Chains A and B, each alone.
Chain A
Amino acid sequence: MSVTALHQVSPAPQGARLSIDKIGKVFTGPSGGSVKAIDGVTLNVEPGEFLAIVGPSGCGKSTLLQVIAGLMSPSSGAVRLGAQDVTGEPAHMVYLFQQYGKSLLPWMSVAENVMFSFRHRIVMTRSAARARCDEYLAMVGLLDFADHYPWQLSGGMQQRVAIARALAAEPKVLLMDEPFSSVDALTRLDLHALILDLWTAKRFTAVLVTHDVDEAIFLADRVAVLTHRPASISEVIDTNLPRPRLSIETRESPNFLALRHRLLAHLLARPGGAAHDAR
C-alpha cells in the first residue's frame, strides 16, 4: 500500500464546521424502562479536522455518532452542520458503519454499491458515474474487483469498498463507527494509512469513534474521551503529532507513547472503568 503517496497534497479545507450542542439520548424500552445512553455531549469539530472519540464498549459511541449523522434524533440538544440544523439525513454527511458486511448490499456488485452512494443525487450518464466510481475504487486499490460481489471479497477488501463508497458521495463530513475493529491487525494498519491518505487528499471533516487508543492518537488531531454510559465528555486532548504520520515511526515516537500512556491511564483509572471489569 502507498502510505505516503498522497500526503504531499494538502489543499485548503473543504469541510464544514460541525457543532454538537448538549446532546442527550434516552432510550425507552418496550416495557417502559429507560436507558440513558448519552448525557450532555458538547463538541465542536472544525472544517477539515480529524476528531477521534474514544470510550469503553457500550458507553454510547454508536448512538452518539448516529445522532450526529441524523440517523437518530436526540432526546435533547442539537447538531449543526455549518449554519444548518441537522434534522434527518443531511446531504453532506456520510456514516461509515461498524458492520461493513451488512452495510454492503450483497445483490449489487462492488461498482453498483459504490454508485449507490451518489448516482441518485446527480444527473449523469452511466459512463460518467462509472468513471467516478472507478476513480474511488482505484484510490482504495480495488479497481480490478469492480465487477465482483462483496461476498467474494475478504473482510479488509470489503471495508475498502465501504470506504470508497462513502467517499464517492464526496461528503463534507465522514462519520466512522469503529470501521477498523473487525479486520486483522495488519490490515488495520494498512487501512489507517489509507484513510489518512484519502483525508489528506479530500480534506473532509472526519469523526472517528473507536475503543482503540492507538488508532485514535495515530489518526486524529484531537481525541475526545467519553465516560462510561451514559456517555459524556471527560476530556479532549490535542495530539499535536506532526503530519504526515508514518505507520511505524509515528507509533514509536515519544510523544505518541506519552499520549498513549495518558489516555490509557485516564480510561483505566475511572471507578467502574475497564480496569474494574478486568479484575
Chain B
Amino acid sequence: MMRAKDRLIIVAAGCSLPAVFLLGLEFASRNGWVNPTFLPAPSAIFATFAQIILTGAFFAPLVHTLTLLFVGYSIGCIAAISLGVLMGYSRAIYNLFEPLTELIRPIPKPALLPALILFLGLGAPMEITIVALGSFFPVLINTVQGVRAVDPVMIDTARTFGHKSPAVWRRILLPASAPYVLAGMRISLGLALLLVVTSEMLSGNGGLGDAILSAQRSFLVKESYAWLIVLALVGLVLTAIFNWTEKRVAFWQAPQAQ
C-alpha cells in the first residue's frame, strides 16, 4: 500500500512539471508575451489537434510514416542481425566486412540524403533506404558484440550434440545475443524515426514529417504544432511496444541476473 502510494506521488510530481510548463505557455501566449503567431496558446493547439484526430485527417500521414518506418526498420534490422551473427562468429568474415562498414558507419545518415535522392528520387524507395541504413549500424555493432560475448561452453554444448553451423547460429548465437541485439534495436528505433521524418520533410509527398513542414510553410502554425503532438505520441507508443516486446523476447535475462 505504502509503495503504491509513494509511486503515485512520484508520478504526480513528474506530471506536474509539464502541467506547469503548459500553463506558463498558455499564460504567456494570452498576455502577448510571446508572439502567438509563432507560439499559439496550448489550448488552441490542442483544439486543432482534436480536430485532426476527430476528422480522421491524421490517418493518411500516420499510415504513411508508420509504413516507411516499419519497412525500413525491418530491412535494416534483419540485414544487420544476419551480417552481425556471421561477423561475430567468424574472424574472416569480420575482417572482410569491417573496412566497408567502418567507412559508412560514421557518416551522419542525413548527409546521405542528397545522394540517395539523386539515385532513387523523392519517393518511398529513398525514404525506406535511408531508414534501413540508419537502423542498420547500431544493430550490426551490437550483434557482433553480443555474439562475441556468447560463452564458448554454450556453442560447444550444441556441437557435442551434433548441431552444425547454421543451427548453432540460429539456436544458440541468436537467442544468446538477443539482449545485445535488442539494445541496438532500441537505438535504431530512435534513429529510424528521426530519419523517416527528415526524409518526409525533404520529399514532401506525405507522412507526418511532410505534414509538420507543409503546415508551417502555409502559416498554419497551430496545425504544425498539432502534428508535432501526433509525432510525439507515435514515439511514445513505439517505445512502449518496444519495451513490452523486449521483456518477452529476453525473458530469461532479468530473473537470471538476480
Q: In chain A, what residue has the closest Cβ to B171?
A: A116
Cβ of B98 under 8 Å from chain A? no
Q: Is the CB of A106 within 8 A of B162?
A: no
Q: Is the CB of B153 within 8 A of A99?
A: yes
Q: Is the CB of B252 within 8 A of A120?
A: no
- A105 in complex: contacting residue of B154, B159, B162, CB < 8 Å: B154
Given contacts A89-B160, A91-B162, A94-B160, contact A103 B167 (CB under 8 A): no
Q: A148-173 interface mask toward B, CB cutoff 8 Å, 1 = contact, 0 = none?
A: 01011000000000000000010000
- A107 in complex: contacting residue of B156, B159, B160, B175, CB < 8 Å: B175
Q: Is the CB of A121 within 8 A of B162?
A: yes
Q: B140-163 interface mask toward A, CB cutoff 8 Å, 1 = contact, 0 = none?
A: 000000000001011011111111
- B157 in complex: contacting residue of A66, A105, A151, CB < 8 Å: A105
Name A197-251 residues within 8 Å CB distance of B: none
Name A58-94 residues within 8 Å CB distance of B: 66, 69, 71, 89, 91, 93-94
Cβ of A279 under 8 Å from chain B? no
Q: Is the CB of A102 within 8 A of B153?
A: yes
Interface size on A, residues (CB 8 A): 24
Cβ of A97 under 8 Å from chain B? yes
Q: Is the CB of A103 within 8 A of B175?
A: no
Cβ of A118 under 8 Å from chain B? yes
Q: Give chain A residues whose Cβ lies under 8 Å from the Cβ of B176.
A: 105, 107
Tell me the bound Cα distance from A149 to B255 in angstroms: 10
Tell me the bound Cα distance from A116 to B159 in angstroms: 11
Q: In chain A, what residue has the closest Cβ to B178?
A: A107
Q: Give chain A residues whose Cβ lies under 8 Å from the Cβ of B175.
A: 105, 107
Residue of B151, B156, B172 contacting most chain A CB atoms (<10 Å):
B156
Tell me the bound Cα distance from A217 to B252 in angstroms: 39
Q: In chain B, what residue has the closest Cβ to A117?
A: B161
Q: In chain A, what residue has the closest Cβ to B175?
A: A107
Q: Is the CB of B160 within 8 A of A116?
A: no
Q: In chain B, what residue has the closest Cβ to A103?
A: B157
Q: In chain B, what residue has the closest Cβ to A98?
A: B153
Q: Is the CB of A97 within 8 A of B156?
A: yes
Cβ of B256 under 8 Å from chain A? yes
Q: In chain A, what residue has the closest Cβ to B251?
A: A107
Q: Is the CB of B153 within 8 A of A106?
A: no
Chain A min CB distance to B57 (Å): 44
Q: Which residues of B approach A to under 8 Å, CB–CB?
A: 151, 153-154, 156-163, 167, 171-172, 175-176, 178, 251-252, 255-256
